[in-house]
Chain A
Amino acid sequence: MKYIDEYRNKEIVQYFAGQIKKISTKPIRLMEVCGGHTMSIQKFGLPYLLPDNVELVSGPGCPVCVTSREFIDRSVAYSRLEDVIITTYGDLIRVPGSSSTLEKEKANGADVRIVYSILDAMLIAKKNKSKRVIFLGIGFETTAPSSAAGILKAKTAALNNFYVYSAHKVMPPAMETLIDEGVKIDGYVGPGHVSTITGQGIYENIPRKYNMGVVISGFEPVDLMQSIHMLVQQIENNDPKVEIQYSRVVKPEGNVVAQKMLDEIFEPRDDWWRGLGILASSGLGIRKEYEKHDAEKMIEVEVEETREPKGCICGLILRGEKKPKDCKLFGNVCTPSDPVGACMVSSEGSCHAYYLYNR
């Protein structure tokens, strides 16, 4: 396929592997903060191509994984309401809440539907005017603009039975918190599709304040190996900066239309991240002008008390402090078909990627 196959070329991957080996002298840890990267890195076995002194760790880049149990619990509670249809991206349906999952509720008769896009959810709302249709909005800057576009459309079209329950988050506060809290990393492989929307400006603080580089990377093996090479170069030359490897897609200024759309609909609010706790201005709440479509404001429901699963170290994994193999439950009690924690459910979760490709 065009613009995919070329970036899977073995010889070029090998070339970068060779270059990295050649120039890299110190032990370093590079963190990727995008679930898509985690998946590619494991799928193509990139850690095995790197010299021993270059280590890759995954950070809080899987939206499903960082989402709170409380969000799942509330979604479950919504799904139990008589006149509600829950619409969601597929990843979320099997994530364990405190006592149930959306999948279980569906089996018990709740109307839970998987959609590919918020636009599909809106069609469902249009066809089911006697129901309240709630779309579960999760994801970072890449996905949030589509929720924003949906909410704007719903307002314009007076689609008054359509609601979004937002758990949308933004990446930079998490990236800075990890460094503030002393997690040992030497550079970030920057999230390619988040940056498609935001541009590179949101990371400029990281080299400035923390003396650490960010290279915004594409998702194919050649992209990732080239990005790692760029980071190693920065580190060896002591020249931390924000660079774009994924230049065929990411513009320095990002996607301005999408940024405006985000700003029109959402406002920053404090939000909870698995592994990191509450981070200031890291979440996106729906602005008052659009509250008619805000499930949290418009639909009251009683939610059970949140309980976290025993033994799951998902939080530490999302901080890059542990690897899935360090979890006692990994691969025995916790598997993709019977997941204990969110990191095993999502195809972008570290535990899932390790289970599939690196057991």
Chain B
Amino acid sequence: MCLSIPARIDKIVDGVATCSVGKSSYNTSLDLIPDEDVKVGDYVLIHTGFAIQKIDTEEANRILSTFDEFRELNEEMDREEQEQNKRII
């Protein structure tokens, strides 16, 4: 029951959002987030039928791009390990 999932808002009518997660669709109450905060196309975290927070996509994308750097670093380390034929970490 503690699972919460990121869902995209497809429609808002009277404080109820229709959200999609993959191919499934859910009705979600917007009672717990400020009205002016969300619009169609936003991602929200839904929990037991309520949106509990808007997902900060800018922040998410910023972090994801730092992960790309990590991935490169990791590849580099793998290469070094192969060249020196020993595990660095």
Q: What separation, in Å, do the CA atoms of A256 and B75 have in the docked complex? A: 42
> What class of interface size applies to chain A in its complex with B?
35 or more
Q: In the complex, what's the smallest C-beta–C-beta distance from B86 to chain A, in angstroms?
A: 14
Residue in B closest to A260 when the chains form the complex, CB atoms:
B32
Contact of B60 among A1, A196, A248, A258 (CB under 8 A): A248
Taking a contact as CB atoms under 8 Å apart, the answer to whether A117 and B50 are in contact is yes
When C-beta atoms are compared, the residue in chain A nearest to B44 turns out to be: A249
Indicate whether B48 reaches chain A with its CB closer than 8 angstroms: yes
Task: Tell me the total A-B contact number using a CB cutoff of 8 A.
Answer: 129
Task: List B contacts of A35 (CB < 8 A).
Answer: 2
Q: Does A11 touch B at the CB level, under 8 Å?
A: yes
| Interface residues in B27-76 (C-beta closer than 8 Å to A) | 29, 31-34, 43, 45, 47-50, 52-53, 55-57, 59-60, 63-64, 67, 70-71, 73-75
A binding-site residues for B, Cβ under 8 Å: 1-4, 6, 9, 11-12, 14-16, 18-19, 21-22, 34-36, 62-64, 89-91, 116-120, 138-140, 142-143, 145-146, 149, 153, 193, 196-197, 222, 247-251, 255-258, 261, 348
Interface residues of B (CB under 8 A from A): 1-4, 6, 8, 21-22, 29, 31-34, 43, 45, 47-50, 52-53, 55-57, 59-60, 63-64, 67, 70-71, 73-75, 77, 88-89
A-B contact pairs, 16 of them (CB 8 A): A1-B22, A3-B60, A12-B67, A34-B2, A35-B2, A63-B2, A64-B1, A91-B1, A138-B1, A140-B2, A145-B32, A146-B48, A193-B45, A196-B52, A247-B59, A258-B32
